[in-house]
Amino acid sequence: MTTTAPHSTYKGPVIERVGIVGCGTMGAGIAEISARAGLDVRIAVSSDASAARGRRRILGSLDRAVAKGRVDEADRDAALARIDFTTDLAGLADRQLVVESVKEDEQVKREVFTFLDKVVTDPEAILATNTSSLSVARLARVTERSGHVVGIHFFNPVPVLPLVEIVPSVLTERDITERAARFVTDTLGKTVIEAPDRAGFVINALLFPYLLSAIRMVDTGLATAETIDRGMELGCSHPLGPLRLADLIGLDTTAAIAEAMYEETKEPLYAPPSLLLRMVECGILGKKSGRGFYNYA
């Protein structure tokens, strides 16, 4: 059963130094909220160009927060000062918590965890994955500290959405699960639910059949993206229709999550529609590529 995580009684070391692997949309968001919470944040990226893009992404989000009155300029500047970048995963050696946020590819994530296991020196450190759908246990097994690996699944946009899924595997030590939950609630100010280590966890297991069904409706010509989204927004009070939401998530990410859930469950409702796969093959990835079910140029 999935329940809201109980209030933690864990008395271990307070997390002050956070490492993040990857600075795409999700990694940048995790870095931003960590820095705004007063933490020392170091982001590992593949190149100096990636670091520059990541810094621009974080600054843009903070500037929007300033414009909306959620953050003042002094806090924005202080948050930016707490973030630095490295192009070497070994630069995360002294981190107390490292969150992997690379693309939704199990082999890539396994390689990251294999390396982190070798370089992170703190025996109390938590190694976390922000995966949306992959098995936390399979990622944990490539390390020599599988009990310290846990899923911490944020939602996009990270600075705005309050929910985080904490996903322990059958290998995760209970103290680590509680420490991760306490960090997310007490330090980052998010709301936690504890989810099982099964494809899609809780939220995506519910959400993705809905998104994929909407894509199938477009694929078969039953309705246009505009009709579907307008119907769900105005008829069901959804803040965002399913096709706009898929564009926001990223169609490549949507396809990867669907494929992972279908691979584990073999449930037809999780199978990615052919239209989605064709769009991804052609580089039509949603808002981040400028085109998806809608144009964003």
Residues that are catalytic: 132, 153, 165, 204
Q: How far apart are CA 175 and CA 153, in angstroms?
A: 18
Residue 161 pairs with which residues in a beta bridge? none
The encoded tokens of residue 231 equal 């119907």
Tokens of 8: 């933690």
Distance CA 211, CA 273 (A): 10
- 9-178-129 Cα angle (round to 5): 160
Please state, in angstroms and rounded to a whole number, the distance separating the CA atoms of residues 247 and 295: 10
- Please give the Cα distance from 61 to 27 (Å, whole number): 12
Sheet containing strand 163-168, edge to edge, reads 83-86, 40-44, 17-21, 97-100, 126-129, 149-154, 163-168, 191-194
3-state secondary structure of 278: helix
Cα separation, 158 vs 141, whole angstroms: 28
SS3 content of the chain, % helix, strand, coil (to 5): 50, 15, 35
Rounded Cα–Cα distance for residues 218 and 157 (Å): 26
Dig out the tokens for 114 from the structure: 């294999």
The rounded distance, in Å, linking the Cα atoms of 59 and 246 is 25
Count Cβ atoms within 10 A of the Cβ of residue 74 and give its class: 0-12 exposed, 13-18 middle, 19 or more buried: exposed
